[in-house]
Amino acid sequence: MRLRHIASSILALLAIATFTQCTTQKHWVGTWGTAGQLVEPHNNPPAPGLGGNTIRQIVQVSIGGEEVRLQLTNEFSKEPTEIIAIELAHATTSGSSSDIDEGTTVSLTFGGQSGITMQPGEIVTSDPVKFTMGDRQNVAITIHYGKASSTSVSGHPGSRTTSYIASGNTTDFTNAVRTDHWYNIKGIDVLAPMEAGAIAILGNSITDGRGSTTNQQDRWPDVLSRRLLGNKPTSQVAVLNMGIGGNCMLGGGLGPTGRQRYQRDLINQAGVKWIILFEAVNDLGYARDGVHSANMIIDVYKQIIQEAHEKGIYVYGATITPFKNNGYYTEDHEKGRQHLNNWMRTTDLLDGVIELEHAVRDPQDPASMHKDYLFENDYLHPNAKGYEAMGGIVDLELFTTRKPWSENKK
């Protein structure tokens, strides 16, 4: 009897240990990210520049956690970028000041070293570090540079957030130069429970946030993120904004094209479980044949869907918003937009459709954006109110599925 009791006790302890291991298992999930590109000359760092100086950049993550790692990019630079040190800290604002909560400051390492030199074309990731963040936490990334170019820079010009450049290796930003661009920062991953996951959104300036309010974090992906966090079944879903202003899916435009970057910006993101495709308006705006361009975009969509499904990732299409009265508009271009949107609504390849068109169109003239949502009356980009409508129309139940696509479709 005693041996049977001991055996039962051992089995019970093993069961508890197994349960504890399962409940504490975690994985890396992207909680903030931006799509890198070669910074255009007029958006390069202002004087005093990066080399030998310090920049503080503010980002707002989506889901929080207690252990993080930072990704940096030198993908498009022709010269090495030397970084002496980097610190993370809680920022006291979402970008309107350089102030931080100094008591939260942690230093990053790369292979155990405080600094790193990124070679041209290189992406690097820091060692994991203990750093507690809340949901929608404002995080300051302070980079101290050694040798670095200010004319051949990898970054993201459309930050909609102010960065601060101070002379020398310093933590004093009293007289810092302000610039509304990000340089060299690519993403933040957080160690999160296995049920947590990320949404990666492919887009252009409408996703990047042209027309949103600088330092207010009110792009439509931000609106979506706050809604997800406030909804218990989706409270561990992160949002990664992979929009690039002026970007195209097929060719031309700013930054690498959608078909060139979708693996980097969508499929290869840490913990990605869902993808939203919302890229086409610039291609259609420059198209010689709207329907032909739409069919070429559909071919790229199909390629992304196939590769994502092979990885167990769900893919949703977001209908292209109207642009009548903008310079992009012709009847032919409108036919292309309608063709692409109708394909999204009827195909069985996508896992769902998000009606961003319905969020902002004028009911009296559906080919045109509602006047209440116009940014600078360009009839292409929504204002902050329009982005609120776009983020508000997304069905949150699309992101409650936790099984990988391949398992859910069996």
pLDDT at site 5: 47
Distance of CA 70 to the CA centre of its chain: 14
Q: What is the DSSP string of 280-304?
A: -HHHHHT-SSHHHHHHHHHHHHHHH
pLDDT tens per residue, the chain (410 residues)? 444 444 444 444 444 444 334 446 999 999 999 999 999 999 999 999 999 999 999 999 999 999 999 999 999 999 999 999 999 999 999 999 999 999 999 999 999 999 999 999 999 999 999 999 999 999 999 999 999 999 999 999 999 999 999 999 999 999 999 999 999 999 999 999 999 999 999 999 999 999 999 999 999 999 999 999 999 999 999 999 999 999 999 999 999 999 999 999 999 999 999 999 999 999 999 999 999 999 999 999 999 999 999 999 999 999 999 999 999 999 999 999 999 999 999 999 999 999 999 999 999 999 999 999 999 999 999 999 999 999 999 999 999 987 888 777 76
Tokens of 90: 């809680």
- The dihedral through the CA atoms of 356, 360, 364, 366 has a sign that is negative
**pTM of the predicted model as reported, rounded to 2 decimal places:** 0.93
What b/e sequence results for 132-167 when a residue is b if at least 16 CB atoms lie within 10 Å of its CB, and e otherwise?
ebebbbbbbbbbbbbebbbebbbbbbbbbbbbbbbe
Within 10 Å of residue 127's Cβ, how many Cβ atoms? 12
- Asked if 279 and 201 touch (Cβ cutoff 8 Å), the reply is no
Residues near 21 by beta carbon (within 8 Å), at least 6 away in sequence: none
d(CA 278, CA 203): 5
Q: At which residue do the structure tokens 């890396």 appear?
A: 28
Angle at 45 between CA 40 and CA 46, to 5 degrees: 120
pLDDT of residue 409: 73
Contact predicate 104/66, CB 8 Å: no
Is there a contact between 390 and 373 (Cβ–Cβ < 8 Å)? no
Q: What are the beta bridge partners of residue 354?
A: 318
Q: What pLDDT score does 169 carry? A: 97
Q: Are 279 and 404 in contact (CB under 8 A)?
A: no
Report the 3 state secondary structure along 363-404.
CCEEEEECHHHECCCCCCCECHHHHHHHHHHCCHHHHCCCCC
Q: From the CB of residue 70, how many other CB atoms can be counted at a distance below 10 Å?
A: 25
Whether 271 contacts 29, CB under 8 Å: yes
Q: Distance from CA of residue 210 to its chain's centroid?
A: 15
